[in-house]
Amino acid sequence: MKKRISFFIHHQGRGHARRAMAIIARFSPDRPVTVMTADPTLFDGFERNIELVTLPNMIGAEVATPALYEAAITPSVMHCVPLGVAEMRRTMRLILDHLDDSETGLFVSDVSAEMVLLARIASVPAVKVRMHGDRNDPGHRAAYECCVGMLAPFDERLEQEDYPDWARAKTCYTGGLCTSDEAVKDKRAARKKLGLPEDQEIIVVLTGGGGAGTPYAPLTVAARAVPRSRMIVIGPVHKEGHETDFANLEEHGWVSNVTDYLTASDIVLASAGDNTVHEIAKIGRPYICAPEWRYFGEQTRKAQCLARLEAAIHLETWPGDIHTWQTVFASARELDIANLQRLYSPNADQIAASWLEETTDRLWSDETALETVLSTAQADD
């Protein structure tokens, strides 16, 4: 029987869960799989047979006493380890019990450095899913060292120049992994489906669910900068109450057919979320990348890498005037979209799944027994 692969999936946003489902769906049918997460509803409707372990929600959990709160100085090798939090203790116990009871062959953390350290202490091989950011701190370096390998769901060309060579050597780069599987239509068909004109420049603003929402005010200035274009916002926005609406700026809110909107666009303005980057690369549109705040500067560092490759315009700050927005849009129209398209890989999910299964099987194979079997077979011949 094949060894189990168990995932810890962070439940902030949807990206970690969607990536896990894309990879797990490519596993061999007889591979036992467990997903441990604080929000199992993220996996509702997933057709592949998996075991789900519900973890306590540690976000916002209270520390037991003021004294414990004051004593919780974070050690340099960790990032978030408050003292006296019952939900954290229960989470660790549930994970350890599962790893022990199931004799898990490989533990995949998407994402948490501390979980990788826990697995290594428990003598379970672990893989950490890579993310961009300023992660040369002792905690991340310790996690990288503890891993039997790292999984980078992006093209190696998008790697940061300060990522150490020893860590790069144990990293599997899958190419750009896009979790959206909708068929890509041509622009005309997509516009017809959405009821959009064929001859007007369409700028799609794609926002995500992992943060507070894209600020709406600068988008109103952008709309004024391109009065003949049509700006369509899909996803949440953050409003302060003083904004003025313009006829060429439309809010469509959450939509289930993001691919249609991206295909219908001439320019896309979006954050630097992992799947967002690869959705746009898959379609192939001029990309204005406005990174959102994330821990360790994750999206900012990714936007810098995209700009270095001339695959996107890095919007370092939200422009507050018409002229700057006009310059940004003009620069986007001059981008060679091939630079971005090269970062998407249609079989990245399969590459990730194969590497995880091969790593598990290699680590747990009994080569001595295999050699004995082969020798016996050759002698019989």
**Whole-model pTM over 0.85:** yes
Beta-strand pair 237-238/126-129: unpaired
pLDDT for the residue numbered 171? 98
Tens digits of per-residue pLDDT, 166-199?
999 999 999 999 998 887 889 999 999 999 999 9
Residue in 77, 153, 81, 80 with CA at minimum distance from that of residue 110: 153
pLDDT for the residue numbered 370? 44
**Mean pLDDT across the chain, nearest whole number?**
94
pLDDT at residue 27 greater than cutoff 90: yes
Tens digits of per-residue pLDDT, 110-150?
999 999 999 999 999 999 999 999 999 999 999 999 999 99
For residue 24, give both structure tokens.
């797990």
Residue 256, Cβ neighbours under 10 Å: how many? 7
Residue in 75, 125, 117, 72 with CA at minimum distance from that of residue 92: 117
Residue range 257-281: mean pLDDT, rounded: 96
pLDDT at residue 376 greater than cutoff 50: no
Q: How confident is the model at residue 374 (pLDDT cuts 50, 70, 90)?
A: very low
List the helix and strand counts (H, then E) for the chain: 15, 15
Q: How confident is the model at residue 366 (pLDDT cuts 50, 70, 90)?
A: confident
First to last CA, the chain: 28
pLDDT for the residue numbered 243? 92
pLDDT at residue 369 greater than cutoff 70: no
Greatest alpha-carbon span in the chain:
85
pLDDT for the residue numbered 211? 59
Query: What are the start-end ranges of the E strands in the chain?
Result: 5-9, 33-37, 51-54, 106-110, 126-129, 149-152, 171-173, 202-206, 214-215, 230-234, 237-238, 249-253, 267-270, 287-289, 313-314
Distance in angstroms (rounded) separating the CA atoms of residues 239 and 233 = 13
For residue 31, give both structure tokens.
């591979």
Residue in 63, 116, 122 with CA at minimum distance from that of residue 89: 63
